[in-house]
Chains A and B, each alone.
Chain A
């Protein structure tokens, strides 16, 4: 946060101070006025790019690592942190995710069966179905994405984020998970063009099959190459020549590839991986394979192609709450059993690989998933590399990210033990040289007094005047709250909700003034009424709410 914005909204911090203890809010620490020079002294430093050093000091100044080693002079203006008993690692990198981006736009296919605007029927490659390569993650950054903080608190300072949905969803960017404004997060863009074979599907939209998806991608690459050639010839001598048609997708792809963005091609099972290898050759792509969970079967073949790989950490598992009688096939069982051994196999074959969170939604689970691959034969050093320097190298960002070296961006995490030890806690996180508090997962400390389940009518006054909202809440026996809140601003699903004793807190994320914002409700509960405060966009409003009893509803109905 810049000095200017601090001046503009100093009161916001007072409020934040109140809320910090209650709930994880984004963009909390590293605020203005804080030191920009730090020295972590006497810690074990694991630079990744070289061997670990005991009793070393790391100096960070204005976002950059300025000194590392045992013989380091600490600048006089440095905030000195005693690192005794602590370990300093480079900030972890999630190699492929959408953390840090605004939620998908409604027009993107969601696959959740929810009603959506009528889709345009695509009748062939020329309609460019599910293709939006011009979208750029850098332009869709949402610092308010609650996952920015949860990922960061788990030790991830950086993500390679890409828009979601479709066969060419858009261009990926390297984001640092710290900063107030969208632009603060962007480190490098574009770095990758993800591709999926996910066909829009069915008998209505082309492509509707895997082979249709492949045929479509093949045509797009051909067209993109053709455009480049044809445009060059046309521009030289346009008069008397038929004009090559402008195609937004082709232009965007040409531009991205011209900036050395790698193409991410999916392949998880052996069948898919081998197919991907073949198509990458055919299409002559500077590609990175993602998925690769059956790498244990085909690692040497990947190595032979010198193809970098992103390994999906959401290991295959039995369908939860599936048919308990169903017996999976032996092949599926083998896959579930051996998938975590893929990283070790890839490493042994000499494949450069990085990890990505895939479908994991709780950042804590990312490191336990890595642990499983260590248990399956991967060295902890290789595992750490796949979370730091390897992704930086794969995405062409190793000049500034991925290790603790002089001149690199000061993305650091400080732990109280080995990163892969279950008991280890991340104590501090530095993103771009700013120190962030690590917040433990908050949870109700007291058993809930009463039940918040039900429809609550909330009234509050904003600068726009009196407003109303309906909170439809459901409470689990332990006090966890879920549900939704509906107002003139739309409906948001409740997250981070709990009731502890008679104190409650919950949050929603809705679009306010055109940007996605967290709205946090906190307060106390008594019988059929609640009261407290709403925090949104730096403002705080009092609110009160009542739960109309059945009797009251009947009365109200009768009065009309």
Chain B
């Protein structure tokens, strides 16, 4: 997570998000039905940017059962098919954001500990987060939801599809390998976040970050051994042996050692990138992606040799000391040295124009159109191990598509429709048409609430004494705002507890 000079961007995003919450924009007026079978859809007469095999002019895409069933020119619409006329429009694979923090209930950081691998983003997916909708409106269909960067080893992460309107349990990308967030450098050593008077949390140096990771994996290795030993003895028929105590902090690290969980490592500087590669080699695990990796261009050969991916920003830099040597050529330079590169958002607002972020690498570094598009489609798909399902427009793949009114590599491009699993989750026309009804509903509800309040006031005026009951609790004399008012906030803010006592 970028936190610092980007604070302005964050603030802007936050304000946007907040005003959005306060505003009328809510769930789509008519999202796709949850349990109904996916409709048969024919997208007609579009420029199809397949990413895998160039562009098809005036092409058609037939979608059945949520998959791309046929691709080409002059496809015939089967009976009952929904036809989307995309004349003059562009279809590209749904954008995949390899670094996102949207759709999380509560803090994305369990910042109390240096190793927070026991926490799991999957436990707190928030299907009500308006950012899902906004991402969709920016053509994003899949996002890698990461824990924050407060810890050398952070929480468990999960890849989701942005199925807006569906419950949280329907968001995870089926079959995608889960991940874990690591973080190197300033954030885990808390150099920018130390509150005065607060005790320091180890580590406070880059050396300490390395030691924290090494020590956690040493622990995990011992833990794995205790289970292996136990299983061996149990298999040999030994009885009355106490099984090892499950340790939720170490379980995911064992999975990393066994190659069952991806490591997504937040990093900036070349030295820490090399450090993690060394530690990974020592313990025999793989770093799936380096995230941010702003100095990746300096150590591209080493990253490529390790077979790790790099997921970076297009052109954000200098928002803190360790981001001073970032350059907008990073993505292109690493690509040219054989690194698998993606461009990510790390931010709810940035995620709404990742197509433009990809396009910047044509300007800075001269990537081809397809190479640029791959930065936000096929490459992140490979980095997340989901390239068999998504990332290009090919027959048999999931019908996760973004339809733009212009060439998506143009600054004028706007998303018209976004499809996931062959269902239209975002439709600009539908949204705009549905707004009036939502506005009316809101107005009516506000009016109803106001009337009720007036009635209560009237009643209160009749018997003023009742309000000043003699039955006050001793601690009722505290200021109003300190009373537990959990339920009076919007549900989004209701991080807690149904009627916590």
Tell me whether B468 and A480 are in contact (CB under 8 A): yes
- Contacting pair A329 B22 (CB below 8 A): yes
Chain B residues 237 to 285 lying within 8 A of chain A, measured CB to CB, are 240-243, 245-249
Please, which residue of chain A has its CB at the minimum distance from the CB of B485?
Answer: A319
Closest chain A residue, CB of each to CB of B115: A124
Closest partner residue, chain B, to A332 (CB atom): B490
What residues of B have a CB within 8 angstroms of the CB of A476 in the complex?
468
Total interface residues on B, CB under 8 Å, equals 88
Interface mask (A517-535 → B, CB under 8 Å = 1, otherwise 0)? 0000000000000000000
Tell me, in angstroms, the Cα distance from A548 to B115 when the chains sit together. 60
Chain B residues whose C-beta falls within 8 Å of the C-beta of A194 in the assembled complex? 501
Are A293 and B249 neighbours in the complex by a CB distance under 8 Å? Answer: no
Q: Is B466 an interface position by the 8 A CB rule?
A: yes
Most chain A beta-carbon contacts within 10 A, residue among B26, B107, B470, B500: B470
Q: Which residues of A contact B168 (CB under 8 A)?
A: 271, 274-275
Q: Is A493 a contact partner of B475 (Cβ separation < 8 A)?
A: yes
28 A-B contacts, Cβ less than 8 Å apart?
A: A112-B482, A123-B112, A147-B473, A198-B497, A204-B112, A208-B107, A208-B109, A208-B110, A209-B107, A210-B124, A215-B120, A215-B248, A223-B245, A229-B243, A233-B242, A241-B242, A269-B491, A271-B167, A271-B491, A278-B169, A291-B498, A332-B490, A359-B486, A363-B471, A484-B477, A495-B473, A495-B476, A496-B471
Tally chain A residues at the interface, Cβ within 8 Å.
Answer: 118
Known A215-B120, A229-B243, A271-B126: A331·B448 in contact at CB below 8 Å = no
| Complex contact A210–B471 (CB within 8 A) | no
* A212, A269, A356, A359: the one within 8 Å of B110 (CB): A212
0/1 interface trace, chain B 146-176, chain A, CB 8 Å (1 if under): 0000100001000000000001110000000
Binary CB contact string for chain B from 482 to 500 against chain A (1 if under 8 A, 0 otherwise): 1111111111101111111
Q: Does B123 have its Cβ within 8 Å of any Cβ on chain A?
A: yes
A4 at the B interface (CB under 8 A) = no
Q: Is the CB of A211 within 8 A of B106?
A: yes
How far is B250's CA from A125's CA once the two chains are assembled, in angstroms? 13
Establish whether residues B487 and A315, one from each chain, have CB atoms under 8 Å apart when the complex forms.
yes
Task: Identify B26's interface contact among A203, A272, A331, A335, CB under 8 A.
Answer: A331
Does B201 sit at the interface, judged by CB under 8 A? Answer: yes
Within the complex, the shortest CB–CB distance from A552 to chain B, in Å, comes to 27
B430 in the interface (beta carbon within 8 A): no
Which of A24, A112, A123, A333 sits near B446, CB closer than 8 Å?
A: A333
Which residues from A are CB-within-8-Å of B449?
318, 333, 336-337
Main secondary structure, interface of B, reads: loop
Distance in angstroms between the alpha carbons of A273 and B496 in the assembled complex: 11
Contacts A317-B487, A333-B445; A362 near B469 (Cβ below 8 A)? yes
| CA of A310 to CA of B435, assembled, Å | 36
Per the bound structure, the CA–CA distance linking A237 and B223 in Å amounts to 24
User: Is B21 interfacial (CB 8 A cutoff)?
Assistant: yes
A303–B499 Cα gap in the complex (Å)? 20
Q: Is the CB of A293 within 8 A of B499?
A: yes
Question: Whole-angstrom distance from the CB of B477 to the nearest CB of chain A?
Answer: 5
- Top 4 A-B pairs, shortest CB-CB distance: A291-B498, A268-B498, A312-B499, A210-B106
Decide: A326 and B474 in contact? CB cutoff 8 A.
no
Q: Could you give, for residues 206-225 of chain A, a 1 whenever the CB lies within 8 Å of some chain B CB and a 0 otherwise?
A: 11111110111011001100
The interface residues of chain B lying within 8 Å CB-to-CB of A147 are: 471, 473
Complex interface: chain B residues within 8 A of A492 (CB): 474
Identity of the chain A residue whose Cβ is nearest the Cβ of B471 in the assembled complex: A150
Complex contacts, B490 vs chain A, CB 8 Å: 328-329, 331-332, 335
Minimum CB distance partner of A124 in chain B: B113
Tell whether B464 is near chain A: CB-to-CB under 8 Å: yes
Chain A residue nearest to B459 (CB atoms) is: A422
Which of A123, A194, A333, A358 neighbours the largest number of chain B CB atoms within 10 Å of its CB? Answer: A333
Residues of A near B485 (CB, < 8 A) are: 319-320, 359
**Inter-chain contact A196/B496, CB cutoff 8 Å:** yes
Q: Is A91 part of the binding interface, using a Cβ–Cβ cutoff of 8 Å?
A: no
CB-CB contacts below 8 Å: A13-54 with B: 23-24
Query: Which residues of B sit under 8 angstroms from A230, Cβ to Cβ?
Result: 242-243, 245
Query: Which chain A residues (249-273) contact chain B, with CB distance < 8 Å?
Result: 266-273
Chain B's nearest CB lies how many Å from the CB of A155? 14
**In contact, A123 and B441 (Cβ under 8 angstroms):** no
Please state if A244 and B470 are interface contacts (CB–CB under 8 Å): no
Report whether A212 and B112 are in contact in the complex, using a CB–CB cutoff of 8 Å: yes
Name the CB-closest residue of A to B124: A211
* Chain B residues, Cβ within 8 Å of A211: 104, 106-107, 110, 119-121, 123-124, 155
Q: Does B198 make an interface contact (CB < 8 A)?
A: yes
B400: Cβ under 8 A from any A Cβ: no
Q: Chain A contacts of B487 at CB under 8 A?
A: 268, 293, 312, 314-317, 339, 358-359
Tell me which of A98, A219, A233 contacts B240 (CB under 8 A).
Answer: A233
